[in-house]
């Protein structure tokens, strides 16, 4: 099952058709994507009974019609240095406990979006983003997967000038500028991912396209390289903070960010970044100058 947002309303996606969930359920379920996670088990059961092809209300859509698929979660967790090779390129020790910051919800954007570059040190970080279904405290890692509703593709865009303004690092601010958290194209349910893949062994990466059409691969990793797996993150976060339905976890980025290049290389106006995770899909961000 895939859940996308079109005009701010949650839709079920099947190949190139979308069905408005509130309409198709006679308002049994709300149009706000966040509302679905509060009743995730009930919603999943209902969605299984639908045959989208038989619904008159199914409509076609284009990727540019899609918005951020998770709406406005109450809590956003982001994990720094969660891939050993990325910690190494950052010249930092792999952490003994998860490094946690937030991306403020006002930075969320859809899967096909434009980003104004506020400085010449904006970096890319392809990330698998988990969406919490059932919340809770003190969730053991053995039950961690049961609390994840699904996954989406995210970019943890990062202004390294702000991030390193002063010690301690300003991770949350430097990563929360306008449109710095593009997500999408949809949330793929954990059940659908698992039908063909292991969520802890998905190819993840991003490609840069220049204005002249030439492309280069920036990141190419696997979620198998995470230091703290998703169930371990659920355990460690829920030991301290109650996880709420619809919360999201940006689970860290593999090696290949611009800060780790020699010399360091950052995003430029006119470039397009395509971020892809196996089993979910791709998001596309175009970058433009802050001077019109
Ligand atoms: Zn990150």
- CATH number (1.25.10.10, 3.90.850.10, 3.40.50.2000, 3.40.190.10) of 70-289 reads 3.90.850.10
**64 alpha carbon to ligand 1 midpoint, in Å?**
24
Query: pLDDT tens digit string along 4-16?
Result: 999 999 999 988 8
Å from CA of 29 to ligand 1 middle: 32
How much distance in Å is there from the Cα of 201 to the middle of ligand 1? 18
- pLDDT of amino acid 209: 98
**Ligand 1 centre distance from Cα of residue 155 (Å):** 8
Kindly give the distance from the C-alpha atom of residue 248 to the centroid of ligand 1, in angstroms, as a whole number. 13
- For a pLDDT cut of 70, what percent of the chain falls above it? 100
Measured in angstroms, how far is the CA atom of residue 200 from the centroid of ligand 1? Answer: 17
Q: 52 falls in which pLDDT band (50, 70, 90)?
A: confident
Distance (Å) from CA 253 to ligand 1 centroid: 5
What's the confidence (pLDDT) of residue 56? 74
57 pLDDT tier (thresholds 50, 70, 90): confident
Structure confidence at residue 279 (pLDDT): 97
Q: DSSP labels for 85-111? A: HHHHHTT-PPPSS-EEE---GGGEE-S
pLDDT band at 276 (very low <50, low <70, confident <90, very high): very high
User: Element (H or E) spanning 116, and its range?
Assistant: strand 112-117
Domain ranges of the chain: 2-61, 70-289
- β-strand 203-209 against 181-189: which pairing, if any? unpaired
Say how many Å lie between the CA of residue 235 and the centre of ligand 1.
19
8 Å CB contact between 89 and 255: yes
CB 135 within 8 A of CB 243: yes
239 alpha carbon – ligand 1 mean position (Å): 22
Q: How far is the CA of 3 from the centre of ligand 1 (A)?
A: 23
55 pLDDT above the threshold of 80: no
CA distances from 178 to 33, 131, 153 (A): 21, 21, 18
CA 157 to ligand 1 center in whole angstroms: 8
Cα 1 to ligand 1 centre (Å): 26
Mean pLDDT confidence for 163-172: 91
pLDDT interval class at 198 (50, 70, 90): very high
Quote the mean pLDDT of the chain: 96
Q: How far is the CA of 56 from the centre of ligand 1 (A)?
A: 41
What's the confidence (pLDDT) of residue 219?
98
* 66 CA distance to ligand 1 middle (Å): 23
Give the span between the Cα atoms of 276 and 108, in whole angstroms: 18
pTM score: 0.97
Is the predicted pLDDT of residue 51 greater than 80, yes or no? Answer: no
Cis before residue 263, ω within 30 degrees of 0?
yes
Interatomic CA distance for residues 230 and 141, integer angstroms: 9
- Quickly count: other Cβ atoms within 10 Å of residue 147's Cβ: 23
């Amino acid at each position: 099952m895939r859940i996308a947002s079109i005009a701010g309303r949650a839709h079920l996606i099947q190949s190139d058709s979308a069905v408005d969930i509130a309409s198709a359920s006679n308002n049994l379920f709300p149009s706000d994507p966040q509302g679905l996670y509060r009743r995730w088990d009930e919603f999943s059961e209902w969605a299984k009974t639908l045959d989208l092809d038989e619904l008159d209300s199914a409509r076609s859509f284009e990727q540019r019609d899609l918005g951020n698929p998770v709406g406005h979660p109450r809590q956003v967790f982001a994990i720094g240095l969660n891939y050993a090779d990325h910690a190494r390129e950052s010249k930092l020790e792999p952490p003994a406990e998860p490094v946690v910051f937030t991306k403020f919800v006002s930075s969320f954007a859809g899967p096909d979006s434009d980003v104004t570059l506020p400085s010449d040190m904006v970096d890319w970080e392809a990330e698998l983003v988990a969406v919490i279904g059932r919340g809770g405290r003190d969730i053991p890692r053995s039950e961690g997967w049961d609390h994840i509703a699904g996954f989406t593709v995210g970019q943890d865009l990062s202004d390294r000038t702000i991030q390193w303004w002063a010690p301690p690092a300003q991770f949350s601010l430097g990563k929360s500028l306008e449109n710095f958290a593009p997500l999408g194209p949809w949330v793929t349910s954990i059940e659908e991912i698992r039908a063909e893949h292991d969520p802890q062994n998905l190819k993840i990466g991003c490609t840069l396209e220049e204005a002249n059409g030439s492309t280069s691969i920036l990141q190419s990793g696997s979620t198998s390289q995470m230091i703290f797996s998703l169930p371990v993150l659920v355990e460690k976060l829920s030991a301290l903070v109650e996880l709420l339905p619809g919360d999201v976890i940006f689970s860290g980025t593999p090696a290949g960010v611009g800060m780790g290049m020699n010399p360091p290389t950052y995003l430029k106006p006119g470039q397009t970044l395509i971020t892809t995770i196996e089993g979910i899909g791709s998001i596309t961000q175009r970058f433009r100058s802050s001077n019109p």
